[in-house]
Every structure is written in structure tokens, then in C-alpha cells.
Chains A and B, each alone.
Chain A
């Protein structure tokens, strides 16, 4: 398949990219790894007239630790997230999640920022960003702002990102006791249901839990009911199973397609919530 014709510009720096984006008057479409965009262009489901390539911008990629906070550059490819020693040590759920995306070649090219900006309803990263309560850092040619993941994902393929803005990085406090569980769609490898769970436990009590869900509704959402039910509980498998039963019960408009009906998807939310929580608990045990 052949995409429609477009103009192409390569940005040499973030400022350059922002200037080009701004000058394009809304015509410019950013491309980094291109692994969400290019297949759509080949099928002519997306026909941008100008691509601005941000893949070579120095410092847009990379994983950094600063004052107890982790930052992943938006240009970091999934493979580098999946294999990052820093993430593996401090926040393995992010690496685990990245390792479930697509396949090795896709992970070698696809980027965190691209995945978040595209916001496929079945993408994996959004769930874990919600569970980590991550900050999504944005820049335009005139301003910088920070949006919390829970405010970022708004609807199908719709996020809080203006046409002249670029995602520069995500930042979050690492959580070791966190895990991602995913029911794969066999053909595409996207999530039919994907749940990321992060637990904050001290003195033998779950102080707070954050659970992100992808694949089930129009965009990734937090399972606040389950989170509330877990707060104050002992970190046991039983408590988690108990709380997981509530998962998704308050969600409306569950997705249904040939791979999984609404009924089945709804039923899988508690299952994968419990599995994610069990995974988080297992890390808690290893930790202590």
C-alpha cells in the first residue's frame, strides 16, 4: 500500500520542531517512530500533507532518574523502555508493559510519546501511565505545561494535546509494587483488556492503590472503585481478589468487537485487575 504524497521536514531540535509545527498552521503532523502513523497512512486512513520528523531531536529520548523521580523522554523507543536497567530496578511495571507492545521490530521503532499522542483505545502504555499517576510534559513554541495522565486521555484517539504541542517526556514517582496484566488480541497484539496496578503499602497496609485500565472503553481510565476498596486493606491476595470483583462494574459503553463482545470484555476486567494486583503483591513480597 502506498501513502498519499506529503512534504517532509526534519527537526533538529525541540525548538526547531515547535517552530516548524507552529509555522505549518495545523497541517504539520509529527512523526517519531511512525509505527502508529505509517500503517494508517499506507491504508490512506490518514493523509497528512506535512510530516515533521522529531526522531532525531537530541535529549528527547532517554530514561533519567532525578530526585527520586523517573523521567522517560517521549522519543524513547519501547525496546529501550523494556530493557532499561533503571526501570527494571525501580519501576519494572513500565518495562513489562513496553515488552508487551507489538513485536520486537515495532518495539525497536515505536516511541512512548507516539503511543501516548495516538492514544489507541487498546494501547498498553496509557494504563500504566494512569497507574503511576504520571505527569505528561508538553511544550509548545510559547509555553510548557504538565498534564496528569488521568486528565490526558479524553476519548477515542483524543488527548489533551494542542495541535502546536509536543509531548516531551513523562515523569512519575517509581513504584516497585506494580504490575501489568493483559489479554492479547491474537492478531494485532493490542490489549482486549489491559490493567496496570500500583500499590503503595506501608506498615502492612495498602495506603493507596492506583489502577489503570485500557482496551475496555473509549480511552484508558482509572478504576477508582477498586482503588477505594483497596485503600486501608491488608496487602493480601484475598483482599485484592475481593476488590477486583468491583472492577469495571461502574463503566458504561464497554467496547465490543469481533474479538471480544462487550459482555466478555466486561467479565475480563476483574480477572485482569486481580492478576495485575497479584503481580503487584508479588513484587511487594520480593521487596520486603
Chain B
């Protein structure tokens, strides 16, 4: 077992974990932050995307022990004081989701994208969510949602 201490959505958690415990399982099973999802085994689909020290990362491809000492933001930590994040608002306004399963990861990737490109072109948006699969929407409304958030900021 190994000790892990991470700050998740502003709150520090310390736990003894098996080294092989994936960060996504640590978040979901131990912290009960089930908004972060799992969609594949091979680091492609992006459903598990969270921010690790401010940058988007696939939490199914990181062991919890690797994240020791990191600041992590999950979808649950995005809204502040009961107010939706502009991206959450955008996804709602623009019908950027259907089944919603990819949505938390998609939104977390978009947070990183807008941090890097505050006024992204459509091309930059589509490339910026290259690591996130959505099987429902055909992506167009997701692009609109991110544009909405960019315009709002």
C-alpha cells in the first residue's frame, strides 16, 4: 500500500491505496465522485478526463499514486457557489449532450482548451476535443456549446 494525498475540488484527501489503483477508481470508488466516467481501456475515449494541476488528463491512465500531491478538478468541482461554469451553461443551452456519459470528460477537456485558446476557431475546438469521443451528438452541438462558453467569458 502507498499513501496518497491529493486535493480534489479544493479539498485534501489522504488515503492508503494499492499502487495499481487507477486515479479514476480512486475518485469514483473512494471519494464517491462518480461524475468522472470510464469508457475505454486504452486511453482513447476521454470519458475519464479531469484536470490534474490545471491540465486535462485521462484519469484511467494515471495511477492514483502518480497524482500524489496534485490538485485535481473533476466535473463536480466546476460549478462555483451554485453557479454553473460557462461551459456547463453552454452545453445546456446548445444541447451539447444527449446520453450525457461523455459530457463530464468533454467539458473538462473544453476547460483546458479554453484556457489555452480563449477565443478558439472552430478548427481549434474540433482539434481540442480530439481526445474525447461522443457517440450521440455528432459533435456539432458540442462545438456550439464551447463557442457559447468562449463568447461568454
Contact = CB atoms under 8 A, between A and B. Distances in A.
Whether the complex brings A and B within 8 Å at their CB atoms is answered: yes
Given A4-B20, A5-B19, A8-B2, A105 B62 contact: no
A6 interface: yes
A140 B68 CA distance: 26
A109 B62 CA distance: 9
B63 A38 contact: yes
A109 B53 CA distance: 11
A106 B130 CA distance: 10
A53 B57 contact: no
Contacts, number: 86
B112 A1 contact: no
B66 A34 contact: yes
Interface stretch (B39-47, B88-96, B136-144): B39-47
Interface residues of B, number: 32
B58 A106 contact: yes
A188 B45 CA distance: 11
Contacts of A35: 43, 61
B130 A103 contact: yes
A145 interface: no
A265 interface: no
B147 interface: no
Contacts of B76: none
B8 interface: no
A105 B116 CA distance: 13
Interface string A1-16: 1111111101000000
A194 B25 CA distance: 36
Given A5-B20, A7-B19, A10-B68, A34 B112 contact: no
A251 interface: no
B122 interface: no
B41 A43 contact: yes
Contact of B131 (A6, A102, A188): A102
Contacts of B113: 104
B46 to A, nearest CB: 6
A108 interface: yes
A39 B41 contact: yes
Contacts of B68: 10
A64 interface: no
13 contacts: A1-B41, A5-B18, A38-B43, A38-B63, A53-B65, A79-B55, A102-B131, A103-B132, A104-B112, A105-B131, A106-B43, A108-B56, A187-B44
Interface of B: 2, 18-20, 22, 41-44, 46, 49, 52, 55-58, 60-63, 65-66, 68, 109, 112-113, 116, 128-132
Q: Which 10 A-B pairs rank lowest in CB-CB distance, beginning with the nearest? A: A103-B131, A8-B19, A1-B41, A103-B130, A108-B55, A105-B131, A38-B61, A105-B58, A39-B42, A105-B56
